[in-house]
Structure 1
Amino acid sequence: MLQRTALGARTARAFPAGRRALGALFFANGFVLGSWAPKVPFFAERLGLSDFGLGLMILMLGIGSLTMMPLTGSLIARIGSARILRFTAMTTVPALLVLTLVTNVPSAAVAMFLVGATVGAMDIAMNANAIVVERRMKRAIMSSCHGFWSLGGLVGAVLGGVLIARFGALWHVVVVTLIEAAALASAWTMIATDGPQPDEARTPLAMPRSIVPYLIGIMALFAMVPEGAVLDWGAIYLRRALDANIVLSGLGFGAFSAAMALMRFAGDPVRDRLGAVKTMRLCAFAALVGMLCAGLAPNVAVAIAGFSLAGIGIANMVPIAFSAAGNMPGLAQGVALSLVTFMGYSGILFAPSLIGFAAEHVSFRLIYSCLAMLFLVVLALSSLARHADGGTQGN
């Protein structure tokens, strides 16, 4: 009896440790991508890339991520998320260092693909491990994990600009690599261990036959398409349509991303209290109103407020969709999660280029107003978010 009590106490302590490990790793993953942003101009200049050439390079990053996501999900179904997470986190540590040291365009293209593959695979493994911890803790943690990702991206972008300006691109990437290694070292022994269940171990390398994970993927996709639109085109919209100056045009995405990060840290208690379905509906409604306000705004202040409200709404939609995918009954966690993640990230990686094409023919006002309508689809599918609560409720 005493032995079982001691084991239970050790197990209870292990779950918060697993949560702390995920905080460090989500931060590290976001930190890599945030640190990449201020390096882009130096990367393009060093390799002599045109805007079109740089666009193709960035596309290689996205292709690498999307290529590895389905494979990573299948591997997680067979051997568990912890081993995959350790390996992919380890390969992500030198990612920016590799991109800094490449000397020609062909090697840079290969490096971009590989970096995208490692970062994307780590993303799948982190989210799968977060679902493991959610199940054991019987409470939601996914939104706060994504909050750490947003925080990592913000810190990486700000710190990167300062370090590159003062010490140069090489010293910047050395510091980034050391921070990444430190984050991995701090999390290494705390990562929640798991393994395949007997039926998941025999899951074939095939797409799910049920339509439900695809519908959950549509929810993730329709949340991330507007996010990508604000990221890549928000500043241009504010300048062209509303005559914003340089400072104000940058505030659009700044307000959007800050609202997302803050709401993600607040999202788990909201979801635990209201349930995933009601939370998803409230989020979709807020995002719908916010994006419409931004698209129909008479001035810059209203547009920035609209982007902020949209950020508050979008913040927890993707984490809930990921939790729902990972808790789908009858499906291997890694396979369903990788499908939904693949569909979601397709929106943020490829939709901005389609929006750019559309902007040559119609106004940004119309584009943002139409993007708001995507949240009506999310509202219509919101009942599927009930699967997210499967990992956070007691038996």
Structure 2
Amino acid sequence: MSLSSTTAAPVLTRNRLAVSMMFLANGFLVGSWAPKIPEFATRLSLDESDLGLMILAFGIGSLCAMVLVGVAIARAGSRQVVRLMAVLAAPSLLLVTLAPAIWSAAVALFILGGMVGGMDVAMNANAVEVEKHERRAIMSSCHGFWSLGGVFGAALGGVIIAEYGTLMHALAVTAFAIMAVALAWPRLLADPPQAHTQPLAGSHAPGVGRSLFSAGATVWLTGVICLFAMTPEGAILDWGALYLRQELGASPALSGLAFGAFSAAMALMRFLGDIVRDRFGAVRTFRVSSVLAIIGLIAAGLAPSPEWAIVGFALTGLGLANMVPIAFSAAGNLPGLPQGLAISVVTFMGYSGILVAPSIIGFIAEHTGFALIYLALPVLIVVALAFSRLTRHADMTPG
């Protein structure tokens, strides 16, 4: 037996490092926007409703780009697209900082959302290519790097803004993003365009038509899984602290731990998720994760104290952590569809759960309270669990 056949492949390859750096840079850009919001609102004299419309511009930009980037990936491959989107995303927070008026700021936020959202689709598509190339799961840890970047961006942003001002903060964020992109640039895995892989020839044949219909239905159902998995994440992000404060009597400091505990648990489990998925398979990992999320949400909704609710949110984070990465991997491996198009559909639907659903939840909670909301959200996870068999496409064949 040769030495090469007995030596295990390195865990952190150059391709995996490169796409992980892209996730880190993207998360850092998104996280760095959060501490700028108070100054942004004060500088432009925005009230709560005006600020809500501004943030909506960010979300609309993201969702629009997610659709268009999927087509570009099918035509040019994920490496070319993620490079382009990363270069355009790096200085986009600087545009928001320099915007002098409301309308220019809205356009800048639309651009920021579009570049970050488009980069999100492209880097997920490239991560799927790396998974195929290395025959091992990497998607969960990539999303873990995104979470890590978001935490660092949010934590460091407040310090830099307080000490050096918003312009220096934006310049520092841009410099970090450029350095991360430069490090990843030559190491990104090259992948061919996928448009030619669509079964167009003879697609009028009944068998091929059924295959296309089946693939299309599968990608939309996988998108439903992402939508229903990311809606609770948005509900905890936007309303968890308010729930602890208003309904459970938590102090301001304690209420801030609602999303903190959720995020920390999610980041931890995402770095462990690839090992778990390779060991137990995508379907079993998804199902156990779903059950954990259901238990966590019910515990948060029934919590008699803020401390119990925080434990419930942490359990929810452990559960939700790997559901979306598994769904993305499954979408990128669906037979009969270019992965860029499939991932763009799944990403669009999933991020709708974070960008749109929380506003609906807030309206309902005015009449029901947040406890009932958190008790109702497990129904969405149960629906995702019912479609869990679709995640079998995420399984990697051992190399």
| TM-score (ref. length: structure 1) | 0.94
Give the alignment partner of residue 21 of structure 2, picking from 24, 36, 39. Answer: 24
Question: Tell me, what secondary structure is at the counterpart of 2:368?
Answer: coil
Tell me which residue corresponds to 2:393: 387
- What is the rounded CA distance, in whole Å, between the counterparts of 2:362 and 2:113 in structure 1? 23
Tell me which residue corresponds to 1:117: 114
Determine if the alignment matches structure 1 residue 367 to structure 2 residue 364.
no
Determine if the alignment matches structure 1 residue 332 to structure 2 residue 333.
no
- What is the rounded CA distance, in whole Å, between the counterparts of 1:336 and 1:164 in structure 2? 39
Determine if the alignment matches structure 1 residue 102 to structure 2 residue 99.
yes
Gaps of 5+ in 1: none
Q: How does 1:302-313 map to 2 (within 5 A)?
A: 302-313=308-319
Give the alignment partner of residue 317 of structure 1, picking from 309, 323, 329. Answer: 323
Greater mean alpha carbon deviation, residues 74-83 or residues 194-203: 194-203
- What is the rounded CA distance, in whole Å, between the counterparts of 2:190 and 2:268 in structure 1? 29
Determine if the alignment matches structure 1 residue 355 to structure 2 residue 352.
no
**Deviation sequence 1:226-282 (CA, Å, 0-9, x none):** 000000000000011100001110011100000000000000000000000000000
Determine if the alignment matches structure 1 residue 277 to structure 2 residue 283.
yes
User: Shift of the alpha carbon at 1:200?
Assistant: 3.2
User: Shift of the alpha carbon at 1:88?
Assistant: 0.3
User: Shift of the alpha carbon at 1:357?
Assistant: 0.5
- What is the rounded CA distance, in whole Å, between the counterparts of 2:251 and 2:197 in structure 1? 54
- What residue identity is the alignment partner of 1:91? L
Q: List structure 1 runs of 4+ shifted beyond 2 angstroms.
A: 12-15, 197-204
CA contact (8 A) 1:78 1:200 kept: no
Gaps of 5+ in 2: 202-211
Determine if the alignment matches structure 1 residue 87 to structure 2 residue 84.
yes
Determine if the alignment matches structure 1 residue 37 to structure 2 residue 34.
yes
Tell me which residue corresponds to 1:297: 303
Tell me which residue corresponds to 1:266: 272
- What residue identity is the alignment partner of 1:40? I
**Percent of residue pairs bearing the same amino acid type:** 57
Q: How does 1:24-173 map to 2 (within 5 A)?
A: 24-173=21-170
Equivalences, count: 382
User: Shift of the alpha carbon at 1:14?
Assistant: 12
**Deviation sequence 1:100-155 (CA, Å, 0-9, x none):** 00001111111111111111110000000000000010000000000000000000
- What is the rounded CA distance, in whole Å, between the counterparts of 2:231 and 2:197 in structure 1? 31
- What is the rounded CA distance, in whole Å, between the counterparts of 1:13 and 1:78 in structure 2? 31
| TM-score (ref. length: structure 2) | 0.93
CA contact (8 A) 1:203 1:332 kept: no
CA contact (8 A) 2:25 2:149 kept: yes
- What is the rounded CA distance, in whole Å, between the counterparts of 2:31 and 2:128 in structure 1? 24
User: Shift of the alpha carbon at 1:195?
Assistant: 1.1
- What is the rounded CA distance, in whole Å, between the counterparts of 1:126 and 1:93 in structure 2? 14
Determine if the alignment matches structure 1 residue 236 to structure 2 residue 233.
no
- What residue identity is the alignment partner of 2:78? S
- What is the rounded CA distance, in whole Å, between the counterparts of 1:300 and 1:52 in structure 2? 29
CA contact (8 A) 2:35 2:158 kept: yes
- What is the rounded CA distance, in whole Å, between the counterparts of 1:309 and 1:13 in structure 2? 32
